[in-house]
Each structure stands twice: as C-alpha cells, then as structure tokens.
Amino acid sequence: MSNNKYIDILEFSDDPWGRSVEDNPDSNGNDFRKRFLTDAFRQFDTVTVDFSKLRDVPDSAFLGGSFVNLIKEDGFSYDEVLQKLVILPADGFLPQLVRRIIELARDEHKRVAGA
C-alpha cells in the first residue's frame, strides 16, 4: 500500500444525498462508495474525503451508504475504516458526524450479534 488517496467530493457531485439509487439516481452514497472509496480503501493507507467545497452537508443516508457500507458491503472492518478515513474540513462537525455514524453501526452490529 502507498500513502494517501485524496478525493474531492466535487469530483463526484456538488449535491450528494441519499443512500441508494432508489433515493437519488444521480449522486447517492452507494454510488460514491463504489466509484471512489472501495478501491481506494484497498490500495491506500489513508483515504481523505474533502467535503470543504460543498454548499450543503450531505445527509446521513449518503454518509451511511458511503462509509458504513464499506463494512457491510465491501468487507472492511469498522476499525480499518475508522483508522484509514480522514474527513475534511477537519475543523468542522462532519468528521465527528461520520465517525459517530460508523460507531453507531458498529455498536448496533455488536448488539445484534450478541443477541
């Protein structure tokens, strides 16, 4: 593996939202994950996704389809995603929000698996 992959969200869309094609056929989280994230997570030590230039914050469905589905669909571990992923702008609330969404999915998985 080599260092860092930088992804500007504007290379994908200036209005990303929704988890799947049923939500948004043009710029949903699953499509972003498949086109930009899956291979990057396989090939690089860190993956930086820059949301700095977006006018609006993507919804939680987009963030889940993008980042939680790296685990659920692509087989990465929660720890691997949390360790490799860097969200920009670093000084905004989005990095904390993405981390929290991943942690909630992890905790739910543990709860269901332990039941």
pLDDT tens for residues 58-81?
999 999 999 999 999 999 999 999
Percent of the chain that is helix, strand, coil (3-state, to 5): 50, 15, 35
Cα distance between residue 2 and residue 20, in whole Å: 30
Q: What pTM value is reported for the model? A: 0.93
Cα distance between residue 44 and residue 48, in whole Å: 10
Percent of the chain's residues with pLDDT above 90: 90
User: Rounded mean pLDDT of the chain?
Assistant: 95
Give residue 58's Cα distance to chain centre.
11
Let me know: does 43 contact 10? Beta carbons within 8 Å: no
Q: What angle do CA 42, 80, 40 make, to 5 degrees?
A: 25
Per-residue pLDDT band at 2 (split at 50, 70, 90) = low
- What is the structure's pLDDT at 92? 87
Question: Token pair for residue 17?
Answer: 């939202």
Average pLDDT over residues 36-46: 98
What Rg value do the Cα atoms of the chain yield, rounded? 13
Question: Token pair for residue 50?
Answer: 């820059």
Cα distance between residue 47 and residue 16, in whole Å: 18
Residue with token string 């949390």 = 82
